[in-house]
Structure 1
Amino acid sequence: MAAARHLAYRDRDWAPQPHADTTLREWLESRLARNDDAAALASRLMEGAAIRLRDLVDHVVFTQLATRTAIEAAGWAQSEPGVWRNPAGMFPPFVAGDAEAVWLRVESVEQFVAAHNLSVAIEGEALAPLRRALALPGEAVSFGVLERGGSPALVPQADDPAERRTARITLQRFRARRRQFDTVEQGLAHTEALVDSAIADLGSPHRACALWLLAEREYWQSRCHAARVQKARQDAVGVGWANIDHHTYDSSRAHYQHTIAILEKLGYELREMLYAGDMAGWGSQVLEQPVIGSTIFADVDLAPHEVELDFAHESLPPLDKHRRAGILCALHGESILEQGLNHVACFYDSKAMRDQMAGLGIRMMPPFSDMPHLYQELTHGDWAAVDPARVDALEADGHLPADEAQRIRMEGAIVTHLENIERNDGYKGFNKPGIDGVLQKLDPRRYGQLKAEQAAAG
């Protein structure tokens, strides 16, 4: 049964959807042309944070029969009364209504309203499952902003002050959670119990998941200079981290199944797997939280034959030598504990983002995906000190050569990045060969080479 379940998603193949993308883009462009304030917002997003307005669209409300005809021809189908979805790619739903509107995702409605000095009513209280404001009304089409806290709804639901108070307490527990323990087993057990309690208190894994991710990003941001710089820019245009494509965790083989189990409790489901090749020695289980639309890369060292296993659920015996994920966890700890997220990938106009970051003194590594439908690159990364005892153990067990062990003792090792990702044609997949190349380069045993490349680049 497990093998059949694994093979069902193992080789999932996503394809670009140019017809659907053109249909959506032309519809949005025609609506922007009818709302000057929204067009000005699109310019401010690009100039201030390299964000394309189209990457923030949560859903649109349409009124014309011609729109329904066009979207159905492009792959949208009615999934529930009055709602059309396109599962072939990353596209927002179309919703039939009485007045046309475009609803944009933001991290905080208050933040958006304040950033743009607006005087508009906000539906929903802080930490409600769904909040929104009709920020840029227009006679032909209005643009609103929407903040999701784990709800799939399209309109705010009845307010529950007790549930909001529970959400606030849960968020504080996630923010303040202990990350360092005597053993990894103790840490994962503590984390799982915390997640179990949050789900029970909130009555929803989706609400718990949204709060979990908020706290996880804050911890990652505290360790990533590029993230702090970019977050300030995105806050200034009012959207916060509303443009996220995926979060990435590293896990050791011994604790991978427990990490996956915690993520599954938060509502994540196995979507597909990636294997970077025997040279890189790395694989990933891609998980998706279908209710809140969140994707996670859960990385782990893999041997070639293990791609045929349900490695997300089956035990993985030790390898003779750690590879990329194993080395990182041995140096910094598990991502779900003290290491934190390896990186967060956010949607941008890739060239604008690269140029704007360069102007701020933040350099990108060479892209590992450079195709019309997918562009990906990482910042050079932030380094963190490593406990010398961890390095000593790795060197003694043959996982680190002496020169790299000494370098890491003295200089530390890369711990986190920000990823610049651009998707076109609704493409939902990833570039497997490109991932192989970049993650070989990010193996801590090649940090000497990486340091030299950084110095040469100035």
Structure 2
Amino acid sequence: MIAAPDISKETRFDWPLCQEAEDAVLGVLRACSEKSPFLATLEQRMRDETGTLLIDWVDHLVVPESDVREFRHAGYTLDRLGDTPEGTPALWHPEAMLPRVLLADRGEPVTVAIRAESIADFLAAHGISSNLHGSPLTRYRTAVVSEENDVRLLVVERRGYRGYVPATLVPGQAATTLIAHETWRTRPRNFDDDAIGWSRTQTWLNRVIALAGRDIACAAIFTEERTFWQGRNRAAQIQKVRQDRLGLGWANHDHHTFRSSREHFVQLMQALEKLGFERRERYYAGAQAGWGAQILEQPVEGLVAFCDVDLEPEETEIDFSRVPLPRSAKLGTIGLWVGLHGESFLQAGMHHLECRFDHALLKDQLEREGVQTMKPFSDLPFLKQAFTEGERWKVRPERAQKLLNEGLITQQQYDTFVRDGAIGSHLENLQRKGGFKGFNQKSVSAIIAAVDPRMQLVH
């Protein structure tokens, strides 16, 4: 008999505020910025040029034992997935979205480690020539950026790895990683039949995992999914250029949002499980707003996926992440988006990427770049969220015709979608405080209703 899955984590969404833990992190960062002119300048440039905060780029801190005690008191505990040189303790906060913490060796300076997508891009952007530790395209690479007044600034690059030990390149490994990227980047995405599309995509996914291993495959695939989404979203392109000027890339990502039809939602879950994702909380908003969502987290790569699906009011007790949902006689916001544009994991790509910013700063800065921001759908002291104005995509006439033939849209809606297109994607501006790592279900319901393609028709 197969044991029933442990779903205790999947019904939890009351993540606590961990203000004491965040204050401990901010205290170290303030002290380091006061001592390190380079770090202080970088922090200011992050705010002025990218609308981001230093804390959201910090991978980890290395602090003396006295500070480690403070972090433990604030809820940090031993990170059993974070292997370190010579077994040095690594700490993390299991209930917060905050940097990890390592114990410094005696006489070692306090270290702030910034994460960038590419360590070489970061060094080049700042005109720094530094010895890189770790071979290209391996799991963990580091370089010293500056060392001033007993403060060391480190830049790190990760790839399917949560620890702190650089690895020597195995013959053929770099080529394998590049092939994994190219295999996913060039996979077929457009299919006349989504059932066939999902079957072939699962085969493609198995191929990439067999080639590179689960965690490296996960890193490669999500990098490629961000690139695909970015290619179809002007706000993303503008913000990526701003972050690339500092050599940072998308390392401030918070979560990736995929939309799925009811019929294929379980297949999306299966694909993410193959990549090492574990289910977190699950939202049942069927009676309230006609949707549901499963949130998943990949603990090694540190990725979060937010997966949306139409849900009927009577389906709020179903584990829709495991039990296939039947076709519905009507389309909610998610189903209509998929009907017009395709499955996120197939033709359409992500609905949005959410990254961590200084919410007000980014809004003002993007406005000067000609990008408007919608009204915030979360405006809480510890969580602020807003979409950039939606990117309108062309709708293939055959997709709209299929919806019309099935009575799922009206003739007027068909004419408008084919003529003017429909909103396809956004960049999401998010700011978290208190280490809060959850979401606001009521607020998400409001924005899902607000971005329904039927509400966005051009007249």
- TM-score normalised by L of structure 2: 0.94
Q: Deviations over 1:315-346 (max 9, x none)?
A: 10122201111111111111001100110000
1:93-112 matches, within 5 Å, as 93-98=100-105, 99=108, 100-112=110-122
Match of 1:153 among 163, 167, 171: 163
Partners of 1:43 and 1:135 in 2: CA distance: 16
Q: Tell me the CA shift for residue 4 of structure 1.
A: 6.5
Match of 1:408 among 409, 417, 421: 417
Q: Tell me the CA shift for residue 77 of structure 1.
A: 1.9
Counterpart of 1:296 in structure 2 is 305
Greater mean alpha carbon deviation, residues 244-253 or residues 81-90: 81-90
Counterpart of 2:444 in structure 1 is 435
Using a 3 Å threshold, how does the CA distance of structure 1 residues 3 and 377 change in structure 2: closer, same or farther?
A: farther
1:317-396 matches, within 5 Å, as 317-396=326-405
1:200-279 matches, within 5 Å, as 200-202=210-212, 204-279=213-288
Count of residue correspondences: 448
Greater mean alpha carbon deviation, residues 293-302 or residues 160-169: 160-169
The AA in structure 1 aligned to 2:292 is: G
Q: Deviations over 1:188-225 (max 9, x none)?
A: 122111221121122x2111000001111111011000
Matched, 1:61 2:62: yes
Counterpart of 1:89 in structure 2 is 96
The AA in structure 2 aligned to 1:302 is: L
Partners of 2:5 and 2:223 in 1: CA distance: 34
- TM-score normalised by L of structure 1: 0.95
Greater mean alpha carbon deviation, residues 120-129 or residues 319-328: 120-129
Matched, 1:15 2:16: yes
Partners of 1:2 and 1:246 in 2: CA distance: 30
Q: Tell me the CA shift for residue 125 of structure 1.
A: 3.1
Q: Deviations over 1:144-188 (max 9, x none)?
A: 111111111213122223111100111111111110123112211
The AA in structure 2 aligned to 1:92 is: P
Counterpart of 2:200 in structure 1 is 190
Q: Tell me the CA shift for residue 124 of structure 1.
A: 2.5
Alignment partner of 2:211: what SS? helix
Q: Deviations over 1:371-426 (max 9, x none)?
A: 11000000111111111222122123232233222211110011111000000000
Unaligned runs of 5+ in 2: 81-86
Using a 3 Å threshold, how does the CA distance of structure 1 residues 8 and 146 change in structure 2: closer, same or farther?
A: closer
Counterpart of 2:291 in structure 1 is 282
Matched, 1:42 2:29: no
Alignment partner of 2:172: what SS? helix
Unaligned runs of 5+ in 1: 453-458
Counterpart of 1:316 in structure 2 is 325
Partners of 2:287 and 2:143 in 1: CA distance: 50
Coordinate RMSD, CA, aligned: 1.6
8 Å Cα contact 1:130-1:147 kept in structure 2: yes
Q: Tell me the CA shift for residue 138 of structure 1.
A: 2.4
Alignment partner of 1:101: what SS? strand
